[in-house]
Every structure is written in C-alpha cells, then in structure tokens.
Homo-oligomer: A and B are copies of this chain.
Amino acid sequence: MRAETTLASQIVEAIQVVVGKNPVVLHEPRFAGNELLYLKECLDTTYVSSVGKFVEHFEVELAAYTGAKHAVAVINGTAALHIALKLAGVGLDDEVLVPSLTFVATANAVTYCGAIPHFVDCEERTLGIDPQALHDYLLDESEIRNGQCVNRNTGRVIRAVVPVHTFGHPVDIDRLLSVAQDFHIAVVEDAAESLGSTVSGRHTGTFGVTAALSFNGNKTITTGGGGAILTNDPELSRRAKHLTTTAKMRHRWEYSHDEIGYNYRMPNINAAIGCAQLEQLPSFLEAKRRLFQRYQTEFAEVKKLRIVVEPEGCRSNYWLQTLLLDESVASQRDTILDSTNDMGLVTRPTWTLMHRLVPYRKYPRMELSVAESLVRRLINLPSSAHLTMVGAS
C-alpha cells in the first residue's frame, strides 16, 4: 500500500510542477485568434450552412498545410473514415485490418461500409500497428487469389488496413506500406489524432490512398465537430466531395442524385472556426512540444514509468501526452487514475480494446498481447496547448 501511494503521489506532484495546482482537464481547445471575427462574418453574410467561403478556404489551407493534394471537409472524423474507406474500395463483406488499440470510430466506420473489422496488434515503440507482426500474420493466415488478399479462415477479401497514428505519434508507415503492397491491401490512414505529425518531414495522412482527420473539440485544432478526407488522387477527391454532399448533380435548379450519397458536408460556420484555428496551429504545436519536454523533465525523476516520445525520424504533434508504466506497477494504474482525478488533474487510461467490446468480441483478430499490455500501462495526461502557451493565462 505504501509503495502504491508513493508512485501515485510522485505522479501527482510531477504533473503539478508542470501544469500547476489548479484543476486541469485532459484537453481543451484555445480560441485566441480570428474565431469570433469569422463567425460574425458567417452571421452577417447569412452563410452558415452548405454555402460559404470558409469551407473551401479551410480545404485549401488544410491541403497546403499537410501537403496532401486534396482535402474535403466533412462533419466529423467518423464520417471522414467512412468515406475514406469507401473510396479505397471497401465494401460489403470485405475485411479491414484495424488496430485493436484505437477509438471505436475506426472499427465503426468499417461496419458502416458493410465490412468486417479484423483486429491487429501494435508495437510499443509507436503505439501503432506492428508491421513485422502483421507481415508474419498475413503470411500465415492469408493468400493471394486473383490479385486479392484472402483470409484463409473466412474466405473473405482483406481489402484495406487502417493504421492509426495513436495520440499523434506516427505509425511505422514506411514498413506498413511495404507490407500492404506485398499483400495487395489498400492503406487508409486514420490521422484523426495526428494533424501536425510528420514522418521524415512528410505529413501523416498523405501516405495512404486516402486518410481521415478529425477536428473534434478534444483535438489539436477544432471546428466544434468536424473532419476531413485527404487524398492525392484528384478523382477520389471529386468522389469524396460528391459522396459527402448527397451525390447531387450540378444543375441550375434540378435536384437529382446519381448514387446513394451522404449528408456529411461541414457547415460553413464550423469551417469558419477551423480557418481561425488553423492559423494558430503552429503555435499550438510549439506549446504542446514544450509541454512534452516539461513532462519529460519531471518524469525523468520518477522510476518505473516513462513518458512516450515520438518515434525516431518522426515528429509528433504530442496530441495526448502519455505515461507508460512498467509492467511491474501496472496494477497501480487505477490508483494513479484515482489520485490524479481526485486532485482535479484529469487523466485517463486509453480506450477499451476493440476486441473486448461487446459488439466486436466475435470478430477476427490476431494475437494482441502488445495492445493488451499497453492498455494495462497507459495513462494520458493533461495535454492542452494553453498550459504552455507563451503569454497564455
């Protein structure tokens, strides 16, 4: 009991040195730019919904910032994933490889396509899909038939893999692309958490055939609710815009639709906030890196844990700061969560693994020992940019 109290109180103390003694939430947005100005412009022009300049401006700026050739703004990250998967060819009864360690939207979006999530393991270094383990698994469990990867056990086509850049840390995308290519599997990046994160200087979300971003209220920048589809393919971009705007055909007055589409477009009022937020993104990223460094300094003194560092060759946006306990003290996780939250320092464990959720228990999966270990040991720390913004209160 004594040792547990000590580790938990050491952690409380380290967090308080970094963020102060007042209550702090896990992640909150900061609106210190042109948000109100742009919102007022929406109201003044009456362009709050599907018409208005901010949606297009946001898309252009997102593409410019990420280096993706095209960005299509949508209503949230889940909708972005849904359409990103459809555009990658995912359809009825396909299987899609998804990390078990992710937010539920990754798996849900697969089911919205009528497809089946197939859960794969992570590596501790990146917190993302382990390319070597995936390679070995596919070698054992699948075969190529007519240029498609077929699951030997289910007979279904494994159509795509969805690497998640967990908490903003880039997955080992180069090796994952190589595995996907070997097995004829499309890569759809779940970059919901990784705006601002790069691999060898190239932005996450620009490696796959398509990718999804999120601008939920807890993300590095927010539009209230929002997301975007990234792609370098002009035809997929055109299809993304068409499918997310009810597949309506252009006409002066006619309302006609050439396929079953979705009402996923981002309203102009949300895009207006996004434009203002994007202007501040570089300063948010600096602040979040500074916060990481302060945590790193403080937690260097605490034994039996480490703070998660961006993988080598990568730059993380440090969306959620993450402590990783040694396995020997994993049993103290809930005590630590209690102690920190009781002090008003909001921390949380990571998501329940997908294959442990009732709706996904019976889906195909590989051995998931690393993900199981990570979930026992992970704690997310207060991560808001404003905690270390220069000049912030």
Residues of chain A at the chain B interface (Cβ within 8 Å) = 28-31, 35-36, 39-40, 43, 46-51, 75-79, 103-105, 108, 111, 216-218, 222, 224-225, 246-248, 252-263, 265-270, 273, 337, 341, 347-352, 357-359
Secondary structure type dominating chain A contacts: loop
A101 to chain B, nearest CB (A): 11
Chain B residue at minimum C-beta to C-beta distance from A352: B256
> How many copies of this chain are found per oligomer?
2
Chain B residue at minimum C-beta to C-beta distance from A109: B263
Q: Can you offer 25 A-B residue contacts whose CB atoms are under 8 A?
A: A35-B43, A36-B40, A39-B39, A48-B222, A48-B224, A48-B273, A49-B216, A49-B224, A50-B216, A50-B217, A51-B217, A75-B75, A76-B263, A78-B262, A104-B246, A104-B255, A104-B261, A108-B263, A224-B267, A252-B341, A253-B337, A255-B352, A257-B357, A258-B359, A269-B270
Asked if A265 and B104 sit within 8 Å, CB to CB, the answer is no
Q: How far is the CA of A351 from the CA of B246 in the complex (A)?
A: 13
Asked if A257 and B104 sit within 8 Å, CB to CB, the answer is yes
Query: Per a CB cutoff under 8 Å, which of B30, B108, B259, B265 touches A358?
Result: B259
Q: A36-B40, A43-B36, A104-B246 are in contact. Are A351 and B255 (CB under 8 A)?
A: yes
Asked if B267 and A217 sit within 8 Å, CB to CB, the answer is yes
Q: How far is the CA of A75 from the CA of B269 in the complex (A)?
A: 13
Q: How far is the CA of A166 from the CA of B13 in the complex (A)?
A: 62
Chain B residue at minimum C-beta to C-beta distance from A81: B263
Asked if B50 and A29 sit within 8 Å, CB to CB, the answer is no
Q: How far is the CA of A350 from the CA of B254 in the complex (A)?
A: 8
Q: How far is the CA of A136 from the CA of B243 in the complex (A)?
A: 37
A23 to chain B, nearest CB (A): 14
Chain B residue at minimum C-beta to C-beta distance from A50: B217
Q: A39-B39, A256-B357, A259-B358 are in contact. Are A225 and B76 (CB under 8 A)?
A: no
Asked if B261 and A108 sit within 8 Å, CB to CB, the answer is yes
Known: A31-B43, A48-B222, A104-B257. 20 other contacts (CB 8 A): A36-B43, A48-B217, A49-B222, A50-B216, A77-B263, A78-B262, A104-B246, A104-B248, A104-B255, A105-B246, A108-B246, A111-B260, A217-B268, A224-B267, A225-B270, A252-B341, A253-B347, A255-B351, A259-B358, A269-B270
